[in-house]
């Protein structure tokens, strides 16, 4: 196979799945999400293509696609060697265009578009090397890997030299941990039993089934009504017993004191963490909640909406999170995620990646493996999220065995969504959407038709 040297084209697609019909993924903030993504395909002068995406929940996916499309000018025509040899610098160039930067910077729509593009480039790199991303990251020379990071604004807590030191310090023992991962996989918890829209009966049924499949770690959505939450907590604890791990997730609906009060009411059910108790921007608020809940044995988890490495840096500095939930698409792709994993390693805070959505499980497994094998070297208090939906659309869906992710074998990162899914669920033109419109299940959003 001739290896590609140049990116020759970039395509951006708005892909949406009508998950709101079943209330899969419903929580206190996102009552009715349609799991979606901005999907990027890179073509090259060889047969290989790179696939990346950023997860969204329906409306607004087109805005991210619009922004990603503009980024073609940083991508198409570029030599791959020039990118891979100075990846940190290239990342900085893309995120710091002196005009485009203004509408971020490094946050929201533009940064999510960055994620999709960068993840597609990494997917391509891994495919060129013939390795799954986690293995590419595990094998790569420490200097070259660290060279992929933009250290702007984080050097006060992590220098290039420290980052290299962390990676090199683990190299002597990494083969053992890699073998362990290939044998038993990385521990996961499931969110699929406890969506807010699910009935008590459905929770009981799903949690019982999950235990029979080997799951011992669970998460439940909370935050709409405290009495409801207490009832659902009691049901959940009764089903899973006193020793299995159980976490709760409020998806940002509380103020500071409200979070403390609500979690005090749920404390008897022994949650390991409260996830996203308040605004994802409120570092000092999270720190206050963490301090108040510490005596109750409850940690604070957050990160799925933490928008860049500068914010994660401060969450770590302030002791505002006890579980660092990196997301694979909200940060600006692999380059920025590995920076955050290295900072968390330095602060000795466990990384427990956010997943679910569509394609997130497929992505974060790589980070969990990389983190264990080459950064923190421990599984203590570590687990990665799993949600059981939409995997049927993935070319290489995540493999779960006995409550663990088994390491991906296929070369690449996202690898890709199935061509049929990309065609059927492209919004609004795909056949699946046309059918839903025709049946009147969904109304097409006409916002942009008269422009």
Q: What burial class does residue 183 get, using C-beta atoms within 10 Å of its C-beta: 0-12 exposed, 13-18 middle, 19+ buried?
A: exposed
Q: How near is the Cβ of 379 to a copy of itself at its closest, in Å?
A: 30
Q: In the complex with a copy of itself, which residue's Cβ is closer, 57 or 117?
A: 57
Give the C-alpha separation, 144 to 152, whole Å.
Answer: 17
Q: How near is the Cβ of 365 to a copy of itself at its closest, in Å?
A: 22
Q: In the complex with a copy of itself, which residue's Cβ is closer, 216 or 322?
A: 322
Q: In the complex with a copy of itself, which residue's Cβ is closer, 86 or 279?
A: 279
Q: In the complex with a copy of itself, which residue's Cβ is closer, 150 or 178?
A: 150
Q: In the complex with a copy of itself, which residue's Cβ is closer, 35 or 122?
A: 35
Q: How near is the Cβ of 152 to a copy of itself at its closest, in Å?
A: 7
Specify the residue for token string 């990384």: 351
Q: Of the listed 13, 127, 219, 221, which one is catalytic?
A: 221
Catalytic residue status for 219: no
Q: How near is the Cβ of 402 to a copy of itself at its closest, in Å?
A: 33
| Interface residue list for a copy of itself (CB under 8 A) | 29-34, 56-64, 66-67, 69-70, 72-73, 96-112, 152-153, 155-156, 252, 255-257, 278-285, 288, 305, 307-308, 310-311, 313-314, 317-318, 447-448, 451
Q: Of the listed 53, 354, 366, 404, which one is catalytic?
A: 354
Q: How near is the Cβ of 34 to a copy of itself at its closest, in Å?
A: 7
Report the half-sphere exposure of 82 (CA within 13 A, side-chain side).
Answer: 11
User: How far does Cα 388 stand from its chain's mean position?
Assistant: 15
Q: In the complex with a copy of itself, which residue's Cβ is closer, 64 or 369?
A: 64
Q: How near is the Cβ of 209 to a copy of itself at its closest, in Å?
A: 28
Q: In the complex with a copy of itself, which residue's Cβ is closer, 2 or 448?
A: 448
Catalytic residue status for 354: yes
Q: How near is the Cβ of 396 to a copy of itself at its closest, in Å?
A: 26
- Point out the residues that are catalytic: 221, 354
């Amino acid at each position: 196979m001739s290896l590609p040297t140049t990116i020759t084209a970039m395509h951006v697609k708005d892909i949406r799945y009508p998950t709101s019909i079943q209330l899969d993924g419903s929580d206190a903030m996102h009552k009715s999400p349609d799991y979606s993504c901005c999907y990027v395909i890179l073509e090259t002068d060889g047969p290989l293509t790179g696939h990346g995406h950023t997860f969204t929940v329906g409306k607004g996916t087109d805005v991210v696609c619009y922004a990603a499309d503009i980024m073609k000018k940083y991508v198409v025509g570029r030599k791959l060697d020039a990118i891979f040899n100075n990846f940190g610098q290239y990342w900085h160039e893309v995120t710091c265009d002196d005009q485009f930067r203004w509408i971020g910077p490094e946050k929201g729509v533009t940064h999510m578009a960055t994620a999709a593009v960068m993840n597609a480039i990494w997917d391509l790199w891994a495919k060129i090397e013939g390795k799954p991303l986690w293995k590419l990251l595990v094998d790569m020379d420490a200097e070259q890997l660290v060279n992929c990071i933009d250290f702007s604004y984080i050097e006060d807590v992590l220098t290039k030299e420290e980052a290299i030191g962390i990676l090199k310090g683990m190299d002597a023992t990494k083969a053992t941990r890699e073998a362990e991962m290939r044998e038993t996989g990385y521990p996961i918890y499931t969110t699929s039993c406890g969506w807010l829209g699910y009935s008590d009966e459905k929770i009981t049924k799903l949690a019982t089934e999950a235990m029979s499949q080997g799951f011992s770690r669970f998460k439940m959505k909370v935050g709409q009504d405290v009495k409801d939450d207490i009832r659902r907590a009691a049901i959940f604890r009764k089903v899973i017993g006193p020793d299995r791990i159980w976490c709760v997730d409020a998806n940002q609906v509380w103020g500071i004191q409200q979070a403390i009060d609500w979690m005090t009411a749920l404390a008897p059910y022994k949650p390991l963490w409260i996830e996203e108790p308040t605004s994802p921007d409120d570092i000092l608020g999270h720190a206050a909640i963490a301090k108040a809940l510490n005596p109750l044995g409850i940690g604070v988890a957050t990160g799925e909406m933490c928008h860049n490495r500068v914010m994660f840096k401060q969450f770590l500095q302030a002791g505002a999170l006890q579980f660092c939930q990196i997301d694979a698409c909200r940060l600006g792709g692999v380059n920025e995620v590995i920076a955050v994993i290295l900072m968390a390693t330095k602060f000795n805070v466990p990384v427990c990646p956010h997943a679910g959505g569509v394609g997130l499980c497929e992505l974060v497994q790589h980070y969990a493996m990389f983190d264990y094998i080459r950064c923190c070297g421990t599984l203590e208090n570590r687990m990665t999220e799993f949600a059981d939906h939409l995997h049927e659309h993935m070319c290489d869906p995540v493999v779960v065995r006995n409550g663990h992710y088994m390491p991906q074998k296929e070369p690449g990162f996202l690898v890709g969504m199935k061509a049929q899914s990309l065609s059927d669920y492209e919004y609004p033109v795909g056949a699946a959407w046309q059918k839903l419109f025709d049946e009147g299940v969904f109304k097409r959003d006409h916002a942009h038709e008269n422009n």
